[in-house]
Structure 1
Amino acid sequence: MKKVLLLTGDYAEDYETMVPYQMLLMVGYEVHAVCPDKKKGDKVRTAIHDFEGEQTYSEKPGHWFTLSYSFDEVKAEQYDGLVIAGGRAPEYLRLNQRVLDIVRHFFEADKPVAAICHGIQILTAAGVVKGRTLTAYPAVGPEVTLAGGHFKEVAADQAVVDGNLVTAPAWPAHPAFIREFLKLMREEIPA
């Protein structure tokens, strides 16, 4: 059984945590959803980000999400792929050195990585986007550029693939985002 590590945290985007988690379980993966300083069975509070016509997204309280694994027990070499949720959690998760080291492992080992929305902030902090083409929530675009990446603006329901990395701007891209991640994980995807 393939194992996927999912990084999330308090005020991660609700859909960007729950939907990938559930979809990856559905296709038969063992998914370890983790957050620094939390253990299996602990919960994180999510936030729902919606696009309602204002200049940026609105934010509403999301669901409690139960973590399926303890962060302290993560051994990056035991995972086949990595998914990074967006929302507000990445702004503080990127300050955790172990999070950055885990992310670097996946790039050094050329394992599949999927990051969505503000999750790309963790990639820029880990120093793994230089020379890469990727997308993110548009407000994260300048960070991608400053980190040496090539920011590609795409529709909210699209994903961008560059080697072992798939990125998307926000949760409306879940069908494309998860499909491309599964391709990187070498799954047969119907046309």
Structure 2
Amino acid sequence: MANILMITGDFVEDYENMVPFQALIAMGHEVHAVCPGKNAGDFISTSIHDFEGDQTYTEKRGHNFQLNADFNTVNADQFDGLYLPGGRSPEYLRLDQRVTALIRDFFAANKPVASICHGIQLLTASHVVEGRKLTAYPACKPEVEMAGGIYVDVPLDQAITDGQLVTAPAWPAHPAMLSQFTRLL
């Protein structure tokens, strides 16, 4: 089974963090959840984003999620794949040059990478989307296009694969995204 790195942080989208973490472990994979500035055993706060008929999603406080690895000790060579959840954490994680360098290392090694929702912000900041067909939460479309990516509008429950990259717009796409990602692993 695969050894997967998950880069996450405070106010990550709860479902996009918890569900893939647990599902990948249930499939027999090993998942190492890390956050810059925090250590194994520390907790991050999550947010729950829901679609309730408003012009955009709503946000509520989610669960506490316990990290199981230290960011400072990981490198791409240790892992078979990378998973990037969405939510609010990509907004600030993309400012950490260690995070973007690590993401570039996964792409340089042509390892499978999955990104959902606002996780795409980590990819655009890492300069790895140019020429790639991908999707994300629709509000990220301008950012994807400015980074040279080819945004594909898909229903919220669908995902797309371009080479070793799997992307999805939001947590309703977990079945499609996880299926495509695990096939690449």
TM-score, normalised to structure 1, is 0.96
In structure 2, give the amino acid aligned to 1:33.
A
The Cα offsets for residues 125-172 of structure 1, whole Å up to 9 and x where unpaired, read as 000000000000000010000000000010000001100000000000
In structure 2, give the amino acid aligned to 1:90.
P
- Give the distance between the partners of 2:82 and 2:90, measured in 1 at CA: 14
- Give the distance between the partners of 2:145 and 2:75, measured in 1 at CA: 30
- Give the distance between the partners of 2:90 and 2:153, measured in 1 at CA: 20
Match of 1:35 in 2: 35
Match of 1:163 in 2: 163
Alignment length (residue pairs): 185
In structure 1, give the amino acid aligned to 2:60.
K
Following TM superposition, the consecutive aligned residue runs of length 4 or more in structure 1 with deviations greater than 3 angstroms are none
- Give the distance between the partners of 1:75 and 1:7, measured in 2 at CA: 12
- Give the distance between the partners of 1:72 and 1:157, measured in 2 at CA: 34
Match of 1:3 in 2: 3
Match of 1:89 in 2: 89
- Give the distance between the partners of 2:110 and 2:101, measured in 1 at CA: 14
The Cα offsets for residues 34-56 of structure 1, whole Å up to 9 and x where unpaired, read as 10000000000000000001000
Unaligned runs of 5+ in 2: none
Match of 1:127 in 2: 127
- Give the distance between the partners of 2:168 and 2:93, measured in 1 at CA: 19
The Cα offsets for residues 52-104 of structure 1, whole Å up to 9 and x where unpaired, read as 01000000000000001011111211100000010000000000001001100
Report deviation, 1:27.
1.1
Aligned residue for 1:174, secondary structure, equals helix
Match of 1:189 in 2: none
Aligned residue for 1:9, secondary structure, equals coil
The yes-or-no answer on 1:179 pairing with 2:183 is no
In structure 2, give the amino acid aligned to 1:163.
G
* Counterpart mapping for 1:66-105 below 5 A: 66-105=66-105
Unaligned runs of 5+ in 1: 186-191
Match of 2:140 in 1: 140
TM-score, normalised to structure 2, is 0.99
Instruction: Name the % identity.
Output: 61
Aligned residue for 2:53, secondary structure, equals coil
Aligned residue for 2:32, secondary structure, equals strand
